[in-house]
Amino acid sequence: MKRFSEEDLSSTQYFKVMPDEESGVKKVLSVVYEALSKKGYDPVNQIVGYIMSGDPTYITNYMGARSLIMKVERDELVEEVLEQYIKSNHWDY
């Protein structure tokens, strides 16, 4: 077992987690959209219902979609959707 000296404990270590593509908001929305579509739901209506209410039952459990979307803040979902909408309309951003 390594012992730490007083010097080791007097400074703060920095740790930064780099977001990986698999856990990004875009990937979450993609998986959730696919899961809702495969289960026969209207993905747009269901995702909007979730964003507006915060009720996770708008999202299916299929493909782990519900647990995935709950890991993302709802404002981040809105931000991602709005950014993509603005980009697709070629507005300045």
Alpha helices in the chain (DSSP H): 6-10, 25-38, 43-53, 65-70, 74-88
Query: What pLDDT, in 10s, does the model give residues 9-28?
Result: 677 777 665 554 444 999 99
In whole angstroms, what is the distance from residue 72 CA to residue 54 CA?
11
In whole angstroms, what is the distance from residue 45 CA to residue 59 CA?
10
Mean per-residue pLDDT, 71-75: 95
| 72: its two tokens | 């993302």
Query: What pLDDT, in 10s, does the model give residues 26-66?
Result: 999 999 999 999 999 999 999 999 999 999 999 999 999 99
In whole angstroms, what is the distance from residue 63 CA to residue 43 CA?
14
pLDDT at residue 16, as a whole number: 63
Phi/psi of residue 12, nearest 5 degrees: -95, 130
pTM of the predicted model, to two decimals?
Answer: 0.72
